Structure 1
């Protein structure tokens, strides 16, 4: 990620930008503990912690 934000050659920069965000999404899926919580609880928690502050609702 650091390399993608530096002044490296354009070809290398485009290569890094092509996969770094999908890699973060995949990594977050690897670290989700589905035995600890189910999908509904997970979704409700994410809606509450991400969307409510986005819209300014407390």
Structure 2
């Protein structure tokens, strides 16, 4: 059970990093050079509830 949980956690972290890369690339940056403000904006956006359009895109 613990190994499966760890694998799921790593998968989720990987997806979060891919989402952050995409967000920052759209803002003209990347994870290595992003400003604190850009990372905070991405985190705020990621934490916001999904709109119905966004939820449909992920389905």
Q: Give the TM-score band, short-chain normalised.
A: 0.3 to 0.5
Greater Rg over alpha carbons, structure: 1
